Amino acid sequence: MRMVKPRIYLSPPHMSGHEQEFVAEAFRSNWIAPLGPMVDAFEREMCKYVGVPHATALMSGTAALHLALLLVGVKTGDEVLCATLTFSASANAITYAGAEPVFIDCNRETWNMDPDLLEEELAACTKRGRRPGAVMAVDLYGQCADYGRIEDICRRFEVPLIEDAAEALGATCNGKKAGCFGRMAVFSFNGNKIITTSGGGMLVSSDGEMIRKARFLATQARDPAPHYEHSTIGYNYRMSNILAAVGRGQLKVIEERVAARRRNFELYRKALEGVPGVSLMPEAPYGRSNRWLTCITVEPGEFSASREDIRLTLEAENIEARPVWKPMHLQPVFASCRRRGGDTAAELFDKGLCLPSGSSLREEDLRRVVDIVRNTYTRA
């Protein structure tokens, strides 16, 4: 009988050991609610780490994106320019605000929104006399978009910028941390992220008034009155005090987690060097990626097998790998949306594979993955 080896996951949660003490403290205080001292402290600690003055902790990154869009003034019928190579949550949030996404292709150097295409699209929108409600840039797989250019372009066209940094806590761009760009930025603490609260998110901004309004909307938009008074539609989006306790324990080790994920990347890079047709996601010269996921691209002509052959071989060995995000403009649900650019994102989807990247992976786990990738080549 063949022994099944333990499963290697793509990006499993990795506890620091500090979480349970914070959770116990939350229980002792009886703040078992979507507010409390752990939420306040987690917000303060995130502000300090990211280098932004204001933050509000929410139930998910998607909720944070929804509120960010509402707060920068996106209205029903607006267009919002969004990176096409992303997870569906970025584009879904645009539709929650009643707006229509317009998808912008990425470039090969960063895999993020191509600033030239963004500029072209904004110029075309101006010509048509229809200014978009916002631009949503995404920091893909833990690498910041090119904010040196994107911020400048958005300023010139007077369109608010939102940074979807859901995957990028701990990354940097031009000396500043992910989360410092645009009018508002968003983090996710979903179970697969670099740090997790099992599920959760955070909205951050340098504008305190916007964060105050976000908190108001996230707590059912209760007007100041002893009874329940409402003059605006609100949401139930706040983070639980218990989950904020988990987040505090996680945030303590964020730098170690970035270092571990970057180490994974380096090991893959060295071990796959010289394998024909295999390349790794490049690191942009303007910053540090947190290397949330290590992604490779596979040229089937040179490698003699496809990324799907590798993925299936890994799966047969009980190892989880995933194709790179399928671009939003290729998703049936967004098929009618406008888009700008060529087929860079589509090609990255075709050829791209995310390898197991958890910060708790051991060197022998990574070697198991590498050996299978190399063997797929040798066999082919």
Ligand X SMILES: Cc1ncc(COP(=O)(O)O)c(C=O)c1O
Binding site for ligand X (CB under 6 A): 60-62, 86-87, 89-90, 138, 164, 166-167, 188, 190, 201
Specify the residue, 157 or 325, whose C-beta has the smaller distance to ligand X: 325
Minimum distance, C-beta of residue 31 to ligand X, in the bound complex (Å): 22
Closest residue to ligand X using C-beta atoms: 61
3-state secondary structure of 319: strand
Nearest to 188 by CA among 125, 131, 141, 130: 141
Specify the residue, 169 or 211, whose C-beta has the smaller distance to ligand X: 169
Residue type, 139: D
Specify the residue, 200 or 277, whose C-beta has the smaller distance to ligand X: 200
Residue type, 31: W
Sequence-separated (6 or more) residues with CB below 8 Å from residue 35: 219, 238, 241
- How far apart CA 172 and CA 12 sit, in angstroms, is 23
CA dihedral 76, 77, 78, 84 (to 10 degrees): 100
Tokens 């003055």 label which residue? Answer: 53
Minimum distance, C-beta of residue 344 to ligand X, in the bound complex (Å): 17
Tokens 């539709």 label which residue? Answer: 95
Minimum distance, C-beta of residue 10 to ligand X, in the bound complex (Å): 12
Minimum distance, C-beta of residue 96 to ligand X, in the bound complex (Å): 12
What is the distance between the terminal CA atoms of the chain, rounded to a whole angstrom?
27
Minimum distance, C-beta of residue 375 to ligand X, in the bound complex (Å): 31
Q: What is the DSSP letter of 142?
A: G
Specify the residue, 79 or 139, whose C-beta has the smaller distance to ligand X: 139
Specify the residue, 107 or 126, whose C-beta has the smaller distance to ligand X: 107
Element housing 186 (H / E) = strand 184-188
CB count, 10 Å around CB of 2? Answer: 4
Buried b (16+ CB within 10 A) or exposed e, 145-169: bbbebbbebbeebebbbbbbbbbbb
Specify the residue, 122 or 145, whose C-beta has the smaller distance to ligand X: 145
Specify the residue, 201 or 352, whose C-beta has the smaller distance to ligand X: 201
Minimum distance, C-beta of residue 224 to ligand X, in the bound complex (Å): 30
Quote the tokens at residue 205: 């901004």
Minimum distance, C-beta of residue 83 to ligand X, in the bound complex (Å): 9
Minimum distance, C-beta of residue 339 to ligand X, in the bound complex (Å): 18
Tokens 């994102």 label which residue? Answer: 345
Specify the residue, 165 or 272, whose C-beta has the smaller distance to ligand X: 165
- The answer to whether the CB of 295 falls within 8 A of the CB of 353 is yes
